Every structure is written in structure tokens, then in C-alpha cells.
Structure 1
Amino acid sequence: MRVQLFPLALGLLCAVSSPLLAQASFSDQTIPAGVAMTHMEDPALMANPMIAGGAAGDFNRDGWPDLYVIGGGGTPDRLFLNNGDGTFRDEAAAWGLSELHHGSGCSAADFNNDGWLDIYVTSFGPAGQPRQTGQHRLYRNNGNGSFSNVAAAAGVHETTQGMPDGYGSAWGDYDLDGDLDLFVTGWEFTNGGNRLFQNNGDETFTDVTSAAGVFSLSMKGFAPTFADMDGDLYPELIAIADAGTSRYYINNGDGTFTRLQPNPSGFGSLNGMGVAIGDLNDDGLLDFYGTSVYWGPGSGNMVWFNQGDHVYLQDSQNAGVDDGGWGWAPVFLDCNRDGMLDIAETNGWATPPFDVYPSKLFVNQGDGTFSESSQSAGLHHDYQGRGMLNFDYDLDGDQDLVIFANQDDLKLFRNDCPASNGNTLRVTLDTSAHSGLAADGIGTRLKAVFASGQQQIRYMDSRTSYLSQSELAVEFGVGLASQVDELWVQWADGSLTVLGPVAANQSLRVASGLPLQAPQTVSMGTTATVELHGANPGEWVMFLHSFVGPGPGRCKAALGGLCYDMLDPVFFLGSASADPSGVASLPVTIPPNSPEMKVTVQGIVPRGLNGSDSVKSNARVVGIVP
């Protein structure tokens, strides 16, 4: 059943007030930043013209995003750690990542929920040896300045027993159990190399490809992603693939998927390479984008605008984004701080005209169309681009780009968007207090609300593109506004954290509260139980409720300044002491003559002197029904 916890009125979601058609501006900072390197494939092997990629993330947890780059086999991989001053240093050897191997793509996620970002790399094996199966790497971050390859022990080193294969990968919590599952694509036809691995929660995985209903011999997979496209919290699996073989799988919510039939328009002709997810037209629904080869009108990239209930309008030609050359990696970003998502895309192939085809920057015009602005914005790149990612490496509030080229130079483009374009808000997510939520908030939907009624939606998917992954952060361009009046965070379990007002021009880390379990609906005249998990044994827990609804609530001095996630008036519902397992349970009886309504509930654990260390759960909305 579709759960619309973010009710949205068409027309309310639009760009915030900002200078008309704010100009984007990028500059090449590759050499000054210290990340100059050239992708080189192993000369002992047949060259693979389709590979080059990397991943961004804070691998050493110092607050600054770092950069992992696949070398290609002819040069080692790099781990560029951010110095916090606009420069990087390569620490790959010290961290155990310098082995020469024929790597193709990568992704980064905290697969074991220990708070440290790990790296998954698809690989064809050690340099100087024939291509082999079973050579993918899962680099577990040990939290001490080192990685260990645990792929074989985890069961994710091999995706086929046929021809060596493996390209893009993506992380997502498809079963909503709080740990991240993995999908890996394979391109070789009839090779069975597209695989779904379910996380067992003990640093091992189980191949559930067939059991989950996503096995395909015909799919020539390149770029997968998980995203909740219908609002029921369970993420769909979208796999962009070559030769018209892309797949869209609807999550059934029971551990299985159903392939969408008929396919979204254009799937059958798409020579799909890369994927991106986001709300491009500001209607509150997630759209998606697939890159392809542009041979002329009717070919090229495709963009699917979400109409609801898994119905899509493919309209790339009218939107002006179909011509991306021989497209590979796309990235959605707000390049000019106007609140609307733009599209950056890299491309290239060995044959003319694609051998010197410029990378693209499609700037959102706010009317359903985009203007190609790469040259005027300074995004000058006509190398053999393959992977691409965005991250805010200098933490100045706008999104920078990295392009990975096949057997060519990496390029770092700093976003030099002038402050006069407007303000921004950067948000990262902390789910460490809630064992039922995936690490770094993957699967979370965020909504920024402004006093004018304008809204922006962002979704924390795994940020995969083509063989690359962007930083696990979201940024709102807030234009001339000085604050976001309300910031709604809908976690992957449907619970809510609501903040506001939130000042612009800051990097905000939003932490989930403790787990709160409550039924979605309760019938009149019955008893339901509300449970808070994660308290200390014997701790007193109070439960509160509001008939008004969720929102940025009152902050209580008696609770150390803790703020409710629901609106006044807030009433006491009851209290309970936590049992030895840390669970506080409160039975609540609904009167038989209760009106049909929605009630917001939240748990509070008072702690510390004068409540200074008090903690809360997220808020939940419960429907009272006949």
C-alpha cells in the first residue's frame, strides 16, 4: 500500500526565490588540489574501453569528503584523503589499497554498520594475469587507517561462474531490515552476471537473485540503483543496461520484486550506460535518467518523469537532454544554488565524432526544459569520460564534480558558483541510534519547506552513476532565503524528524532518534501497543502525542533543550519502564466512539542533570480508523 507521508500539492514545489537563471561556474582544480592521475589499464590484458570510476566519502571520519579512484591495472588505485584546505594526499598504500588489479567500477557504503565507510570494487583480477572470475573486492574499513579485502568471506567476490564480468554496483536496504544489501551488474550477454546479495547482518551475504525474482540472462547491466519510487518506503530496483535490456523491478515488500511490464517507454531502444535519481520537475515525485548514445533525433539519453504508481512520461527530446554524445555517467546536482536539480553528464568513444565530444551540463530552466551550458560554465572536458561523481570537497556549500576518463586524466572541477546566486543547506544523516535504519540514512526522503510555501524534495539513494558513486549527502539550494523554515526527514521506516527553522549556509548532520514501533492504523475500540527500543534497562520512558500532527515542535528546557517533532498542543499519553532488553511498552486503548483521525506519537527518555542528556525517538503518525 502506498503511504504518502509527505502530502504535496502540485505547484507548491518550485525553485526558491533566486536571481533569474543564475549562472553556473566551474574551474579545473585537478593539479592545485593534488589529485592529478591518469587511468591506465594493464598492458598485459586486452584493453577495456568502457571502464574508469571512483567513489567519494569520508573514509577517515574527519568531516571532509575523500576520493577513491580506480587505477585500471596499469597504475595503482588511489585513496585521496582530504586535507581540509582544498588539497588531497594519496594514502592508498598506507591503507592497503595499492595492489595492481583490473578494476572496473566501485561503490561505497557502511555494509556492517560500524560507522566506517567500506568500498566495493568490481574487478577482473590481478594485473599481469588473465581475466578471472571471483575477483571482486569488498574493502572493509577497519577504522584504524586500513582496509581489508573480505569479499570472499562475505560471499560477494563472485557474480558469475562463466565469462569474467562485473561493472556497476549499488547499495540499498531493499528488505528494510537496517543493513545494506548489494546489487552488482554484469554486461556479458547470457552470463547471468547481474546479482542481488542480501546482507545477513554478520558481515556475510546471501545470493538471492533468483529467490527475489530479479534473475536475468539477457540483461547487459551497467548501472543499478535502489530508490522508493512509489512512496511505500520499500525501494525499487532500477538497472540501466545496454542494448535495450534495462529493467525496472517493483519491490513487493516481502523480499521479492516484480518486473514492471510493459517497460517504461524507451527501455527497449535504450543503449543504457548510467543512471541518476531525483525530482527534476519539482512535483514531489522521483524521476530517473538513463544515458545512451545520440545518433540523431529519437535516440540518445532518456528522462522518465514520474506520474505516480510506476507510470512514467519519457520526454528527453522536449526537455533538451537527449544529446549527450556517447553518454556514460550522469549526475543530478543543483549547480547554481537555485533550488532546481540540474544534470551533468560525461561521454566519449574512440570513433568520431565522439572521440572529442564535450561533457554536458544541462541547467534546469524551471519550465520542464534544460539549457546545455557546459562551455559557458567552464566545464571544459572532451576526454574519454566514463565515470562521474559530485561531492562538496571544500565544504563551501556547492557541489563539485570529478570526471574519470578511460586511459586518460582524471579531472576535478570546483564549483565556483558566486555567493550572489544564493544560499545553500548541506545535510548528512546519522542512523547509529536506530538499528532498524540503514547506515548514513540511505532510503531517507527529505523535504525543505519555506515560508512562501515552496518546497524541495531530496532522496538519499546510494548516489550511484556509472561505475562511480557520489558523496552520501544532500544539498538544498535555497536561493535568497536565509533559512529553511521546516526540514522534514522521513526515515526509511516511515518515522519522522522535523526541524526548523534551520539557518542556511551550514553543514547539518541530522541524527535519527531511538526506534519507536507503533501500528500504522488502529481500529476504534481496540488496544494497540507503542514501544520504544534502545533505552537502558529500567529507564523511565514517557510517551507523548499530538492531534495537530508532526512538525518542528516546542523545545523543552527541562529536557536539555530537546525539541519535539510534533506540533502543540502536546499531551502526555503514558509512561513505562524499559525491560531488561531496553524496550518500554505502553498499551493504549482507543475508545469505541473515538473520531476517525491521525495521531502523532513520540517517546522521550529523560536523562542527565536537569534533563541535559535526554533523548527521543522519531515521531510516528498513527491513523484511528473504524
Structure 2
Amino acid sequence: MKHLALQLSLLAALAGCGGSSSEPPAATADQTPQASAPAQQAPAAAGNSQATVTPPIQGTGRPQHFRFSSKLADSGIDFVQVSGNSPDKPFPAANGTGCGILDVELDGRPDVYFACGAKFPLRPKAPGPRDRLYRNRGDWHFQDISTLAGIGLPGYSCGIAVGDLNSDGFDDVCVTRYGATLCWISQGDGTFSEQAAELGIDSTEWGTSAAIADLNDDGLADIYVCNYGQWNWDDSAYCGDPVRNIRMFCSPTHVPPQPHILYRNSGSGFVDASEESGIRVRQGRGQGVLIADIDADSHPDIYVANDIHPNFLFVSDGNAFAEIGEVSGTAFDHLGQAQAGMGLAIADVDRSGTPDLFVTNYQNEHNALYSNLGNRAFLELGLSVIPEGSLPWVGWGTSLTDFDLDGWPDLIVTNGHTDDNLAELGKEGDYAQPAGLWKNQNGSFVLAGPAGDYFRTTHVGRGLATADFDQDGDTDVVICHQDAAPALLCNDTPTAAQLAGTLSIRLIGSHSHRGALPATLQLQTSPPQTFILHAGGSYQSSSQPLATMVLEDTTAEKMPPLQIRWPDGSETTVDGLSPGKTYTIVQTADGTQEPRLYLCP
């Protein structure tokens, strides 16, 4: 292991170290969600999430651990999602869409890509809603650059995966869709070119979530695509009450699963390596995927959440994968039953030094937490570690993130039912549901008190992504809603003193793939803070690959040593980092020398 004495270089032009912009913010109409719920459910309009009389998931008598404020109103984000829901209940509309975080211009400010659905039956050449891309101009102002960037095609988009597919230093975007997967390749000037077909990505399946990372340790970015199932408009089943002609979405069991796809990067394009890589051993209705070094052997592993199928855990030997979901204890809940696996999160929840896995599930199923016991063994502890607030809700996008900067990853889940006519059919549940927010207290989660107007109202959530949108050192949130505007939530929780004690790290690979995912960072506090930089996660969404850790010793002037395990297995220890700063750490070309460090202004 290399041991590095800190040597700083200031380079504002470096990717990810952007300064402030002098451009004036774009003015838009108020699109903020309503602060209070109406008395009864009403159709969502632009900027208004659906709301019901369902009580908030946060009890008013609880301490206010977190504070979030909505920034949508004057942000310039005027996107309104289209799910495709109708009285005919086309199945893809139930699952909705996600979003992704990227840095289009390498100015260090996280931009946002929103996936949009469409009405069924699909009409590929007809005008209709499109995906939208918003550039972050600073100070919570965004500019719609969809047309300028050249993105957006007719069709039903589902998930967003972000990564550098051609190692040119710019973020590219893969969009999973019903019937295709698109790849928007950055041209380096703020525009994108759709190149899926010429790159060899010719899927015609119904893709949901995807993730981009180097999966065979060759320094090139590969793609894992979750496919859901075989459904088409012309022969979709009728579910509901035929006497009253009231349809509801069918159970997933009506949709046969489709095999997932692993696209391997050859350097000149992509080839379908699903069979040879070992990921075709089973089928499942895939909904969430994340890529991380889960077993700490310096090879990337893949965890997949499946809908009423066992979840997959593919562990890598550097070339191929073995599926060990059932053997490892990550396929089922604590009773040995498959759940509705949707969203995924990963973090060292108990600060044991090993990553734990979290899965969101359906109503009357608890959200599952798989505690890592080491040696590829896990114990499902969701009901005991997260005892409150999960069973009544349908969970989707999620993140394990240290929102209050106390060194322990907290938990957020966006909720929302699939059916908007439950009462009409005499079924329990509410379409719009409150988001859940839990504080991590030494490895167990406590339901938080009110955290702002957004958490006092109900919404029909789907995708969720995290990023430090205002570059103040803490983590903010964007949440996608069905047939409504998204939520843009500023984290106001940490104090100025806490923000001054943070350390934010971006990695750039050289010997490893440039995106440097997956990687593991460990700050030598007591106990250590382990941060898992992963690809994918949440639900059909991609978050900013930024590691944030905290200085727990308030008397110290420097951070404790930071250990980095790069995707190629090489390790580095960095000493003397200053708190309250963001660093970009660049691996050297051979992976054996001291990396370069850049302090971002």
C-alpha cells in the first residue's frame, strides 16, 4: 500500500472542480409542490404531487432530526413526468421513471436528467413528452438544455445510468426504455449523440434499471441492464372488476420475466457477454441494480432487486460471476420469501467496515436490510433494525446517506402505490404516500420527526437521486413523482460547524477505469467511516459519485488518514487532508505511484 504525504495542487479547470458562474439565473414560473395536502385525492397537475388524507410517516411528536427545504419553485425545473397511466392500466405505467445526476460541462455542479414515460399504445413518430436535461447554474437555478444538448426521443423511458463509456472524461447517459436502450454519448461541447446501435447495444427488451462500471477489470466501462418482463399492449391481461369495468394493474406474476443483459466494452463497442459472464443463470423481473465491491476482494460485484423473484448477488473473480443470492442470505427476507424488490442502497450501516444492503419492497412487506457478516454471508434484519414505518407503504427510490453529518448513514425512501383507484375497488392503501426518513443511531434506525413541508405531504414517488447541488458539503435530494413535478430538496440539517468538518472526495481512475467505480474509501476514525462508491442503486436512478465523510474529533485541524481501494485493487493512503474541503484524487497511470490531489475551489 502506498502512503502519501499530502501535496496540494490547485487546478480549477480540472474535471469536477468548477467555480461559480457569473450568468444570471433563468426565471421560471412557480412549480413547487403544494405545502399541504388537500382533503381528498385529486389528479396531479404541473408542479403538484398527488396528495391524500394519509397521515405523514413522520410523527409530530418526534424530534426534528433533519431539515429540508423545497427549491423547485424558482429553480427553472419545469419538468412534469408522464407515467402513461390510464383506465386501461398498461403495466409499465405502474413502475414509472427515474432520474440521473451528471456533470455535462465538467464545471463541478451536478446537473439532472429526468426520464419521461408516454401514453399507451406508444406512437413512436407522434409528438409527445420527452426526457429533459437541466444544467445546474448555481444557487439552485437550473436551465433546460434538452434541445441544445440534443437529447430526448419519443418513447417510454424508464431508468438512467450515468458513466464515462469511452473514457474521454465526459459523462455519458444510458437510458433504459420499454423496447430499447439508448446511449447518449457526450460530444464534449454540451451536446450528445445517440449511438446505441452503432455501439452494439441492440436490446429490444423492457429495460428498467442499469449501471455502468468496469466489470472485468480491463479498465473499460461495461453496462449491466435489468430487464423486467414480457408485456405488450395488444395482449395485456385484464385485472380488476369486469362487471363494473374497473381495471387495476395486474400482479407481476402476469408478466413473464426477461433475462438481464451484461454488455462488455471491447474498446470499439459493446458485445453481449451475458452468457459467458455467468449472469444468465437465472431470470427475474429486475427493478434495481447496484455495482460495488461487496465482498472486499477488489472485484466488482452486482446486486439486483427482483420483483417477486429471488434477488441476485453476482460475485466476481475478475472475469466471470457466480450467483450466490440464496447461499449468501441476500435473496429472500428473514422468512425465506421472495419480496417485491425495487430500490437498492448500500452503506456500512453499523460501521463494521463491511457494506450492508438495503432493499425497498411492496405494501405489507417490510423493507429489507441485509447485514454483512463477512465471508459473503448476510443476515436480514429489516424488521429489527428499521422497526417503524415500512409496512403500510410501497417503497421505490432510496439512499443510505449521512444527511446530518454525524458519521452514520441515514435512510430515505420515496413511497407511492401503483394503483390510483384502490378505494373504488374496495382495497386498502393510498395512492399518494409520505416519504420516509430515518436517523441512524449507532446502526439502528429511528423514524425522524417532521423534516420540512415535503415530508408533511404525500406523493406518488418513484425514482430518487442524491447530489450536493449547492456544493456546501452536505447531500441534497431529487425525487421523481408519477404524473407530477419532481421534488428538489435542499438539506438544511447540518450546522456551519458541521459543514466545516466535512471531507468530500471525487475519484478519477487512470490505471482503473476513468469513472473509478466501484471503489471503497475508509476514513480512519474510531470506528472507521467506510464509504462505498458504487454504480447504480436507488430505483431507475443514478446519484452523484461523491464520497462525503466527517471529522468527528472537533479539536483536530486535519482529517485522519484516508484509505482508498481503487477498482483495480490498488490501495493508497492519503494523510493531511483539510476538513471543509472537496478534493479530486487522480490515480496514476500505472496505479503504483502516488496519486495527484486537486483542491476544488
Give the TM-score category using the shorter length.
Answer: 0.7 to 0.9
Query: Is 1:339 aligned to 2:407, yes or no?
Result: yes
The within-5 A match list for 1:98-117 is 98-117=152-171
Q: Any conservation in 2 of the 1:120–1:139 contact (CA below 8 Å)?
A: yes
Q: Which amino acid in 2 is paired with 1:108? A: V
Q: Any conservation in 1 of the 2:304–2:313 contact (CA below 8 Å)?
A: yes
2-side partners of 1:476 and 1:172: how far apart? 23
Q: Where does residue 318 of structure 2 map in the other structure?
A: 253
Q: In the TM superposition, what is the alpha-carbon distance from 1:305 to its structure 2 partner?
A: 0.6
1:425–1:190: structure 2 CA closer, same or farther, 3 Å change rule?
same
Residues 404-413 or 68-77, more deviating: 68-77
The within-5 A match list for 1:180-329 is 180-188=221-229, 189-202=255-268, 204-216=269-281, 218-262=283-327, 263-264=329-330, 265-266=332-333, 268-295=337-364, 299-320=365-386, 323-324=389-390, 325-329=393-397
SS of corresponding position for 1:167: strand
1-side partners of 2:143 and 2:340: how far apart? 37
1-side partners of 2:217 and 2:388: how far apart? 35
2-side partners of 1:417 and 1:261: how far apart? 39
Q: In the TM superposition, what is the alpha-carbon distance from 1:332 to its structure 2 partner?
A: 1.3
1:113–1:206: structure 2 CA closer, same or farther, 3 Å change rule?
same
1:285–1:52: structure 2 CA closer, same or farther, 3 Å change rule?
same
Q: Where does residue 576 of structure 1 map in the other structure?
A: none
Q: Any conservation in 2 of the 1:301–1:323 contact (CA below 8 Å)?
A: no
1-side partners of 2:280 and 2:388: how far apart? 30
Q: Any conservation in 2 of the 1:278–1:287 contact (CA below 8 Å)?
A: yes
Q: In the TM superposition, what is the alpha-carbon distance from 1:57 to its structure 2 partner?
A: 1.6
CA RMSD after TM alignment: 2.4
1:425 to 496, 500, 503: 503
Q: In the TM superposition, what is the alpha-carbon distance from 1:157 to its structure 2 partner?
A: 3.3
Query: Is 1:448 aligned to 2:523, yes or no?
Result: yes
2:542 to 455, 469, 484: 469
Q: In the TM superposition, what is the alpha-carbon distance from 1:191 to its structure 2 partner?
A: 4.6
Query: Is 1:81 aligned to 2:135, yes or no?
Result: yes
1:510 to 579, 585, 599: 585
2-side partners of 1:322 and 1:118: how far apart? 39
Q: In the TM superposition, what is the alpha-carbon distance from 1:217 to its structure 2 partner?
A: 5.6
Query: Is 1:34 aligned to 2:110, yes or no?
Result: no
1:177–1:85: structure 2 CA closer, same or farther, 3 Å change rule?
same
SS of corresponding position for 2:337: helix
Q: In the TM superposition, what is the alpha-carbon distance from 1:30 to its structure 2 partner?
A: 0.9
2:559 to 484, 504, 516: 484
Q: In the TM superposition, what is the alpha-carbon distance from 1:353 to its structure 2 partner?
A: 2.4
Q: In the TM superposition, what is the alpha-carbon distance from 1:334 to its structure 2 partner?
A: 0.6
**TM-score (normalizing by structure 1):** 0.73
1:348 to 381, 400, 416: 416
Q: Any conservation in 2 of the 1:336–1:421 contact (CA below 8 Å)?
A: no
Q: Where does residue 108 of structure 2 map in the other structure?
A: 63
2-side partners of 1:33 and 1:208: how far apart? 42
Q: Any conservation in 1 of the 2:184–2:192 contact (CA below 8 Å)?
A: yes
Q: Which amino acid in 2 is paired with 1:223? A: G
Q: Where does residue 484 of structure 2 map in the other structure?
A: 408
Q: In the TM superposition, what is the alpha-carbon distance from 1:317 to its structure 2 partner?
A: 0.8
Q: Which amino acid in 2 is paired with 1:72? A: G
Q: In the TM superposition, what is the alpha-carbon distance from 1:268 to its structure 2 partner?
A: 3.2
2-side partners of 1:390 and 1:112: how far apart? 24
Q: Any conservation in 1 of the 2:212–2:536 contact (CA below 8 Å)?
A: no
Q: In the TM superposition, what is the alpha-carbon distance from 1:243 to its structure 2 partner?
A: 0.5
1:456–1:383: structure 2 CA closer, same or farther, 3 Å change rule?
same
Query: Is 1:168 aligned to 2:209, yes or no?
Result: yes
Q: Where does residue 371 of structure 1 map in the other structure?
A: 446
Q: Any conservation in 2 of the 1:57–1:472 contact (CA below 8 Å)?
A: no
The within-5 A match list for 1:99-138 is 99-124=153-178, 133=179, 135-138=180-183
Q: In the TM superposition, what is the alpha-carbon distance from 1:408 to its structure 2 partner?
A: 1.8
1:408–1:22: structure 2 CA closer, same or farther, 3 Å change rule?
closer
Q: In the TM superposition, what is the alpha-carbon distance from 1:616 to its structure 2 partner?
A: 7.8
Q: In the TM superposition, what is the alpha-carbon distance from 1:150 to its structure 2 partner?
A: 0.6
SS of corresponding position for 1:62: coil
Q: In the TM superposition, what is the alpha-carbon distance from 1:216 to its structure 2 partner?
A: 5.0
Task: Give the number of the structure with larger relative contact order, counting CA–CA contacts within 8 Å between residues 6 or more apart.
Answer: 2
Q: Which amino acid in 1 is paired with 2:324? A: R
Residues 38-47 or 497-506, more deviating: 38-47
Task: Kindly provide the CA deviation profile for residues 399-448 of structure 1, in whole angstroms up to 9, marking residues without a partner as x.
Answer: 000110121221101001242562311111122xx2x3122211211111
Q: Where does residue 392 of structure 1 map in the other structure?
A: 468
2-side partners of 1:498 and 1:252: how far apart? 25
2-side partners of 1:258 and 1:509: how far apart? 35
Q: Which amino acid in 2 is paired with 1:335? A: F
Task: Kindly provide the CA deviation profile for residues 25-51 of structure 1, in whole angstroms up to 9, marking residues without a partner as x.
Answer: 101111122223210145899461211
Structure 2 gap segments, 5+ residues each:
4-62, 119-127, 230-254, 423-427
Q: In the TM superposition, what is the alpha-carbon distance from 1:307 to its structure 2 partner?
A: 0.3
2-side partners of 1:419 and 1:22: how far apart? 14
Task: Kindly provide the CA deviation profile for residues 455-506 of structure 1, in whole angstroms up to 9, marking residues without a partner as x.
Answer: 2111111142101111111111334635312122121222223222211111
2-side partners of 1:464 and 1:118: how far apart? 17
Q: Any conservation in 1 of the 2:259–2:280 contact (CA below 8 Å)?
A: no
1:100–1:252: structure 2 CA closer, same or farther, 3 Å change rule?
same
Q: In the TM superposition, what is the alpha-carbon distance from 1:219 to its structure 2 partner?
A: 0.7
1-side partners of 2:524 and 2:584: how far apart? 18
1:503–1:377: structure 2 CA closer, same or farther, 3 Å change rule?
farther
**Count of paired positions:** 481
**TM-score (normalizing by structure 2):** 0.76
SS of corresponding position for 1:39: coil
1:374–1:35: structure 2 CA closer, same or farther, 3 Å change rule?
farther
Q: Any conservation in 2 of the 1:36–1:411 contact (CA below 8 Å)?
A: no
Q: Which amino acid in 2 is paired with 1:387? A: G
2-side partners of 1:374 and 1:208: how far apart? 47
Q: Which has the larger Rg?
A: 1
1:233–1:603: structure 2 CA closer, same or farther, 3 Å change rule?
closer
Q: In the TM superposition, what is the alpha-carbon distance from 1:155 to its structure 2 partner?
A: 1.8
1-side partners of 2:492 and 2:514: how far apart? 31
1:374–1:184: structure 2 CA closer, same or farther, 3 Å change rule?
farther
2-side partners of 1:322 and 1:220: how far apart? 28
1-side partners of 2:162 and 2:93: how far apart? 23
Q: In the TM superposition, what is the alpha-carbon distance from 1:377 to its structure 2 partner?
A: 5.2
Q: Which amino acid in 1 is paired with 2:546? A: A
1:374–1:348: structure 2 CA closer, same or farther, 3 Å change rule?
farther
Q: Which has the higher strand share?
A: 1
1:302–1:238: structure 2 CA closer, same or farther, 3 Å change rule?
same
Q: Where does residue 595 of structure 1 map in the other structure?
A: none
Task: Kindly provide the CA deviation profile for residues 587-609 of structure 1, in whole angstroms up to 9, marking residues without a partner as x.
Answer: xxxxxxxxxxxxxxx558xxxxx
2-side partners of 1:29 and 1:39: how far apart? 18
1:603–1:357: structure 2 CA closer, same or farther, 3 Å change rule?
closer
Q: Where does residue 147 of structure 1 map in the other structure?
A: 192
1:343–1:255: structure 2 CA closer, same or farther, 3 Å change rule?
same
Q: Which amino acid in 1 is paired with 2:351? A: D
Structure 1 gap segments, 5+ residues each:
6-20, 125-132, 517-601, 605-614, 618-626
1-side partners of 2:270 and 2:372: how far apart? 32
2-side partners of 1:190 and 1:494: how far apart? 39
1:22–1:438: structure 2 CA closer, same or farther, 3 Å change rule?
farther
